[in-house]
């Protein structure tokens, strides 16, 4: 934020957030406040194998809420996935008295958010018609079906945002369906649900949360409340991510990462993101790199790209991460970048694009597909030539 600008902002967040280890026991009573029939979008087969799914349907049943297993998705949602789930909702004649319950990572939550919105907005043929930048520009006009989001990865923060990210591989795009009406009505974060997430996914999703917190903090749309949330989230996530990856059964690190992820969602929904997320979307559709991994690879480079125009902010982060006084801003900003690089090495994040399957001939398409809402929040404008050079340097 420019010091000369007067303070003027808006802030929004989910209407109700329930957070706590084991609090999935409240699933039924919370869902009952939204409807009598819950369509469940599940984000992992593990949730069936570990008995979590049965447990949740029992909680719903106990509260008098009928459950319908609508979809299971264990990869990032595509256009056809959304259209199929919307059709299924229509076949069930979903409407008044119904809700969606998303339990899973960002993929399941986004699929449910998009389906809840399109179930009540029938003026398009496919979700594509509503997607930013690629569709017919149709808008969400009517309130979606009520949605309760229960994240199991930490994470995307999608439980607290107003968009759903939908992919297509042919033609290649990864774009958002967005409306303030799409913020979930109830967010139930039970960090215990993340204990079964494998170490690699914990590393990637955790770095997504850290990337969101850093990019929102330095975004050209940065705002005071989201910035406070970013600091709060980074204080939790930076010291916890290694333990969450290496000792995933531990409660403290899992709680800290779940909280940081939630805060990152609230921050990004109000402040936007930046270059790491812009390129991550392109890496997702052209090279099928999982979202969190793509963010993790790009984060140190994005911090370096913005270092000159956000020295003071990055210096604040450097002092926060190291706990040292670091009087020189340039040194402190470098310490922030070095901390992120050190964490990345420790949890196995590659530094070269070739290590995640990128080939030189894909770079021009990556540059083109990086342009979108996330990139527009980047503090420094990058020309296509500069972005291409940066990516070449990472091959
Ligand atoms: P994900 O939801 O795809 O989950 C990653 C893997 O973990 C999947 O295979 C899933 O089945 C598995 N998994 C999830 N929960 C598990 C559990 N409890 N135990 C074992 N395995 C489990 O990954 P993600 O990173 O959470 O979400 C990525 C998607 O979210 C991307 O499409 C990304 O673009 C999107 N996203 C959305 C927003 C938003 O605001 N809407 C923000 C950031 C990212």
* Inter-helix orientation angle 275-287/291-306, to 10°: 140
pLDDT at 167 over 60: yes
* pLDDT for the residue numbered 5: 63
What 3-state class would DSSP assign to 234? Answer: helix
* pLDDT for the residue numbered 372: 86
Q: What is the pLDDT of residues 89-121, one digit of tens each?
A: 999 999 999 999 999 999 999 999 999 999 999
Ligand 1 atom closest to 76 (CA): 32
Ligand 1 atom closest to 280 (CA): 34
CA distances from 75 to 22, 66, 94, 167, 284 (A): 26, 27, 25, 10, 11
Ligand 1 atom closest to 196 (CA): 19
d(CA 116, CA 184): 10
Ligand 1 atom closest to 160 (CA): 40
Residue nearest to atom 4 of ligand 1 (CA): 105
Q: What is the pLDDT of residues 238-249, one digit of tens each?
A: 999 999 999 999
What 3-state class would DSSP assign to 129? Answer: helix
d(CA 207, CA 209): 5
Beta bridge partners of 37: 66, 98
For 307, which DSSP code? T
Does the pTM of the predicted model rise above 0.95?
Answer: yes
Whether residue 266 contacts residue 230, with contact meaning beta carbons closer than 8 Å, is answered with no
Nearby residues of 132 by Cβ (< 8 Å), 6 or more positions away? 175, 176, 177, 178, 372, 373
Q: What is the pLDDT of residues 11-58, one digit of tens each?
A: 999 999 999 999 999 999 999 999 999 999 999 999 999 999 999 999
Residue nearest to atom 28 of ligand 1 (CA): 106
d(CA 135, CA 252): 43
Q: How many CB atoms lie under 10 A from the CB of residue 316?
A: 20
Whether residue 57 contacts residue 28, with contact meaning beta carbons closer than 8 Å, is answered with no
* Inter-helix orientation angle 224-246/311-322, to 10°: 40
Residue of 301, 304, 327, 305 whose CA lies nearest to 315: 327
Whether residue 244 contacts residue 196, with contact meaning beta carbons closer than 8 Å, is answered with no
Whether residue 31 contacts residue 60, with contact meaning beta carbons closer than 8 Å, is answered with yes
What 3-state class would DSSP assign to 56? Answer: helix
Query: How high does pLDDT run on average in the chain?
Result: 97
d(CA 210, CA 92): 39
Residue of 101, 277, 261 whose CA lies nearest to 197: 261
Whether residue 313 contacts residue 218, with contact meaning beta carbons closer than 8 Å, is answered with yes
Task: Compute the distance from residue 322 Cα to the ligand 1 centre, in Å.
Answer: 30
Q: How many CB atoms lie under 10 A from the CB of residue 138?
A: 17
Q: Is 76 in the pocket of ligand 1 (CB under 6 A)?
A: yes
pLDDT at 202 over 80: yes
Whether residue 35 contacts residue 65, with contact meaning beta carbons closer than 8 Å, is answered with yes
Residue of 184, 140, 143 whose CA lies nearest to 160: 184
Q: Is 73 in the pocket of ligand 1 (CB under 6 A)?
A: no
d(CA 326, CA 300): 20
d(CA 7, CA 137): 32
Task: Compute the distance from residue 303 Cα to the ligand 1 centre, in Å.
Answer: 24
What 3-state class would DSSP assign to 329? Answer: helix
Confidence of residue 3 (pLDDT cuts 50, 70, 90): low
d(CA 65, CA 166): 29
Whether residue 366 contacts residue 286, with contact meaning beta carbons closer than 8 Å, is answered with yes
Confidence of residue 8 (pLDDT cuts 50, 70, 90): confident
H/E stretch holding 71: strand 66-72
Query: Which structure tokens are listed for 349?
Result: 């994040």
* pLDDT for the residue numbered 38: 98
Q: How many CB atoms lie under 10 A from the CB of residue 177?
A: 26
d(CA 53, CA 51): 6
Residue nearest to atom 32 of ligand 1 (CA): 76
Q: Is 179 in the pocket of ligand 1 (CB under 6 A)?
A: no
Q: What is the pLDDT of residues 132-150, one digit of tens each?
A: 999 899 999 999 999 999 9
Whether residue 113 contacts residue 102, with contact meaning beta carbons closer than 8 Å, is answered with yes
Q: What is the pLDDT of residues 375-386, one digit of tens each?
A: 999 999 999 999
């Amino acid at each position: 934020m420019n010091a000369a600008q007067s303070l003027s902002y808006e802030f929004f967040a989910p209407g109700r957030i329930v957070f706590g280890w084991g609090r999935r026991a409240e699933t039924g009573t919370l869902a009952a406040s939204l409807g009598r029939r819950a369509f469940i979008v599940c984000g992992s087969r593990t949730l069936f194998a570990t008995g979590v799914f049965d447990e949740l349907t029992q909680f719903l049943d106990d509260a008098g809420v009928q459950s319908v297993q609508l979809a299971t998705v264990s990869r990032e949602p595509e256009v056809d996935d959304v259209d199929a789930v919307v059709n299924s909702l229509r076949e069930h004649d979903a409407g008044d008295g119904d809700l969606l319950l998303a339990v899973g990572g960002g993929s399941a939550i986004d699929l449910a958010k998009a389906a809840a919105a399109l179930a009540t907005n029938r003026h398009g043929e496919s979700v594509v018609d509503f997607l930013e930048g690629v569709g017919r520009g149709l808008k969400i006009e009517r309130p979606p079906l009520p949605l309760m989001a229960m994240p199991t990865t930490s994470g995307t923060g999608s439980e607290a945002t107003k968009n759903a990210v939908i992919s297509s591989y042919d033609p290649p795009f990864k774009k958002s369906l967005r409306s303030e009406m799409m913020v979930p009505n109830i967010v139930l974060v039970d960090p215990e649900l993340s204990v079964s997430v494998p170490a690699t996914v914990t590393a990637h999703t955790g770095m997504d949360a850290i990337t969101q917190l850093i990019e929102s903090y330095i975004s050209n749309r940065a705002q005071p409340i989201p910035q406070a949330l970013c600091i709060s989230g980074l204080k939790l996530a930076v010291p916890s991510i290694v333990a969450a990856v290496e000792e995933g059964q531990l409660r403290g690190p899992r709680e800290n990462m779940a909280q940081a992820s939630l805060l990152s969602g609230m921050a990004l929904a109000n402040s936007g993101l930046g270059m790491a997320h812009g390129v991550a979307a392109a890496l997702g559709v052209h090279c099928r790199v999982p979202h969190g991994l793509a963010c993790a690879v790009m984060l140190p480079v994005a911090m370096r790209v913005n270092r000159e125009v956000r020295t003071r902010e990055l210096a604040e982060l450097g002092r926060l991460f190291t706990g040292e006084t670091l009087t020189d801003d340039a040194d402190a900003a470098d310490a922030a970048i070095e901390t992120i690089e050190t964490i990345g090495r420790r949890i196995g994040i590659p530094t070269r694009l070739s290590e995640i399957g990128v080939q030189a001939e894909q770079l021009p398409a990556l540059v083109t597909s990086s342009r979108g809402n996330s990139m527009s929040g980047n503090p420094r404008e990058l020309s296509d030539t500069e972005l291409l050079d940066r990516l070449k340097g990472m091959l």
